[in-house]
Structure 1
Amino acid sequence: MVAEPLIPVRQRRFRYPGPARTSDRAALEGILFAARTGVTWNTLPTAAFGASGATCWRRLKEWHEAGVWQHLHELILAELRAAGRLDLSAALVDSSHLRALGRGDLTGPSPVDRGKLGSKHHLITDATGIPLTVILNGGNRNDITQLLPLLDAVPPIRGLVGRPLRRPRRIYADRGYDFDKYRRLVRARGITPHIARRNTGHGRHRWPVERSIAWLHAFKKLRLRTERRADIHQALISLACSVICLRQLILN
């Protein structure tokens, strides 16, 4: 289990230890099943994994607070870079909207879905579409407001001798990001912006990020937001990014 070294060890109490703690492997398998299939936590088949939905939810939250999912994602990114599979000569940004079934943190009226509550996934990838980070925000937030936060949220990527990489040389975005003010701010970070102008095409370099959004939404828990708590949904996003990166590492 790749995540095993990152999971904090919980010491069992010497006096009155209570029932044995469900194994981390069983909980992780249950979390992955829920993320892929979209089943609710209370309908997770406990007998199949040896962990209840409530236990999986608590473990997901506990490990998110301990930084396990973020550290796992950074570790796999480092391995991809060491294997020559990460291309930070350019970065691609895009966003996707998803319906939020209930009120919760980081939701808002969607301008593309008759004002119904929704959220947005703001994604930045390397030149080949490997996800570097995803930001969750309300469905009413303009894409351009998340361009600089996305750039700043790219983690330091190790894997080779020398300084960790954090900045791509170029960034590609569609015409939804067409604001000269932000072009100047991106250049101030030492990055060359390639942002499509309004009334033009979206650009031919962006298809890998659109494919990455499809990979992300193959996890049905991320296609439709059922979690009221933003931190739980963000934990599922980070876990999905790690799985996507791991697949790229193994398959290529």
Structure 2
Amino acid sequence: MAGEFTGLTDAEWAVIEPFLPEQPEKPGKGRPHAFFRDILNTILWVLITGARWIDVPKGKGFGARSTSHRWLGIWTTDGIWAELKALLMGQAHELGLIDWSRSSVDGSFAAGKGGGEDVQYGFKGKGVTLHALVDGNGLPLSVISTGAAESERAQVEPLIDQTELITGKPGRPRKRPDAIQGDKGYDSRELRALIRQRGITPMIPRRSWQNRKPPKGRPPNKPIDRWKVERTFAWLQRKYRRLVVRWERRNKYWAGFVTFAVCLLWANCLTGFLG
């Protein structure tokens, strides 16, 4: 989306539109409801540029900033963003675009200069931490946000639980990878046991301690590629500048931006595959 902002492409809109709620009916009197595509374009403009809501352009293809801001929170509270992500991931799963063989987990700090809900003082300063679980291709399976002081190890289980897919077919779709990679910050005997209980192989290096025995077992036959989750954070922060610094004081607006960005990554994946 380099250069002049044009909003959602026709291909992206064709992928996203079927999964959105129905457009409200036109009222008998008063101003008609704004089109959802204009609302999404406005939210997308703020997400990409990181600009203030008051700077939202006016004109064709854009919704009113107050209306767009309200819908951003409504769709978070009603679970529309989460359902949209699950539906897009379900379609990607049916097309074989999700690599379940090996996933990676990591966290990334976002400064919270405006303060607000869940903003805490952590090792890197005042802000929040985005935690992501990605598949073997680096596409996010689940992303959650916590205060900067929260433990990254404690977020692995919620990340696994929040990996949801909706395929529209009978039975439960797959939602667990074969293995999870993490850096030494996730080194924990309890965490390894918890991951194994879910039928997942933990691939977490051990921290070096004096008088500690070397790990047992064979080394992995494939090099560790945790860099893919770091690349995912680079995608999110380079494409969507609103995620670099958290200015939203309320969680529902911040979570809406984060989940919409994840939905856009999956929509781009599907448009690239479907042509």
Query: When the two structures are superposed, what TM-score results if normalisation uses the length of structure 2?
Result: 0.83
Shift of residue 101, structure 1, vs aligned partner: 1.3
| 1:4-43 → structure 2 map (5 Å cutoff) | 4-5=17-18, 6-14=20-28, 17-43=29-55
Give per-residue Cα distances to partners, 1:1-46, cap 9 Å, x unaligned: 23333224323444xx322222211111111111111111111112
CA distance in 1, matches of 2:226, 2:235: 15
Name the residue aligned to 1:145: 154
Q: Is 1:245 matched with 2:254? A: no
Shift of residue 248, structure 1, vs aligned partner: 1.9
User: Aligned match of 1:172 in 181, 187, 190?
Assistant: 181
| 1:54-69 → structure 2 map (5 Å cutoff) | 54-69=66-81
Q: Is 1:44 matched with 2:56? A: yes
CA distance in 2, matches of 1:160, 1:95: 33
Shift of residue 211, structure 1, vs aligned partner: 0.7
Shift of residue 223, structure 1, vs aligned partner: 0.8
Q: What is the aligned-residue identity percentage?
A: 33
| 1:145-224 → structure 2 map (5 Å cutoff) | 145-156=154-165, 158=167, 163-199=172-208, 204-218=224-238, 219-224=240-245
| 1:124-143 → structure 2 map (5 Å cutoff) | 124-143=133-152
Tell me, what secondary structure is at the counterpart of 1:3?
helix
Shift of residue 71, structure 1, vs aligned partner: 1.7
Unaligned stretches of 5+ residues in structure 2? 1-12, 210-222
Count of residue pairs the alignment pairs up: 245
Tell me, what secondary structure is at the counterpart of 2:138?
coil
- 8 Å contact kept, 2:41–2:62: no
Give per-residue Cα distances to partners, 1:120-148, cap 9 Å, x unaligned: 00000111111111011001112111111
CA RMSD of superposed structures (Å): 2.0
Code of the residue aligned with 1:206 in structure 2: it is: R
CA distance in 1, matches of 2:188, 2:92: 33
Name the residue aligned to 2:248: 227
Unaligned stretches of 5+ residues in structure 1? none
Runs of 4+ in 1 over 4 A off after TM superposition: 159-162
